[in-house]
Amino acid sequence: MLKFANAKINIGLHIVSKRSDGYHDLETIFYPVKIYDAVEILPSNKPELKIWNSDLVADDQNLCLKAFHLLSQEYNISPVQIHLLKNIPIGAGLGGGSSDASAILELLNDYFKLNISRDSLKEYASQLGADCPFFIDNKTMYAEGTGTQLTEINLDLSKYKIVVIKPDIHISTAEAYSKVSPMETEINLKEAIKLPIQEWKYLIKNDFELSLFDKYPLIGDIKAKLYEKGAKYASMSGSGSSVFGIFDNITGLEDLNKYGKVYLPTEL
Per-residue model confidence as pLDDT tens digits over 210-251: 999 999 999 999 999 999 999 999 999 998 899 999 999 988
221 an active-site residue?
A: no
> What is the pLDDT averaged over residues 187-205?
95
Look up 100 and say whether it is catalytic: no
Q: Is the pLDDT of residue 267 over 60?
A: no
pLDDT-derived band at 182, boundaries 50, 70, 90: confident
| One domain for residues 124 and 25 | yes
Question: Of 240, 219, 238, 227, nearest to 200 (Cα)?
Answer: 227
pLDDT tens-digit profile of 51-90?
999 988 889 899 999 999 999 999 999 999 999 999 999 9
Residue 268 lies in a domain: no
Quote the DSSP letter at residue 206: B
Average pLDDT, integer, range 25-50: 96
Query: Is 268's pLDDT higher than 70?
Result: no
Angle made by CA atoms 111, 112, 116, in degrees to the nearest 5 = 100
Catalytic residue among 37, 131, 161, 232: 131
Going by pLDDT thresholds of 50, 70 and 90, the confidence category of residue 183 is confident
- Domain stops at, among 134, 152, 170: 152
Mean pLDDT value across residues 89-114? 96
Question: Cα angle vertex 23, ends 19, 25, to 5°?
Answer: 65
In terms of domains, do 126 and 214 share one?
no
pLDDT at site 3: 97
Which residue among 8, 122, 161, 223 is the active-site one? 8
**Residue 147 CB partners (closer than 8 Å, separation 6+):** 26, 28, 30, 130, 131, 134
Asked whether 41 and 82 are in contact (CB, 8 A), the reply is: yes
Cβ-contact 140, 32 below 8 angstroms: yes
Asked whether residue 66 falls in the same domain as residue 20, the answer is yes
Residue in 237, 242, 235 with CA at minimum distance from that of residue 260: 242
13 & 82 share domain: yes
Residue type, 105: L
* Range from 63-67, 96-100, 125-129, 174-178 carrying the lowest mean pLDDT: 174-178
pTM: 0.93
CB 201 within 8 A of CB 133: no
Q: What was the pLDDT predicted at 49? A: 97
β pairing state of 161-166 and 261-263: antiparallel
The pLDDT, as a whole number, for residue 186 is 79
In this prediction, residue 266 has a pLDDT band, given cuts at 50, 70 and 90, of low
19 plus 104 within the same structural domain? yes
Q: Which of 152, 179, 197 is the last residue of a domain?
A: 152
- Which one, of 215, 223, 131, lies nearest residue 171 by Cα? 215
Which residue range forms the structural domain that includes residue 32? 2-152
Read off the pLDDT of residues 130-150 as tens digits, 9 standing for 90 and up: 899 999 999 999 999 888 899
Average pLDDT of the chain is 93
Q: How far is CA 122 from the centre of its chain?
A: 16
For 115, half-sphere exposure in the C-beta direction (CA atoms, 13 angstrom radius) is 0
Structural domains of the chain, count: 2
The tally of CA atoms less than 13 A away on the side-chain side of residue 58 is: 14
Domain shared by 6 and 125, yes or no: yes
CATH no. for residue 184? 3.30.70.890
With respect to residue 125, please indicate whether it lies within any of the assigned structural domains: yes
170 and 84 both lie in a single domain: no
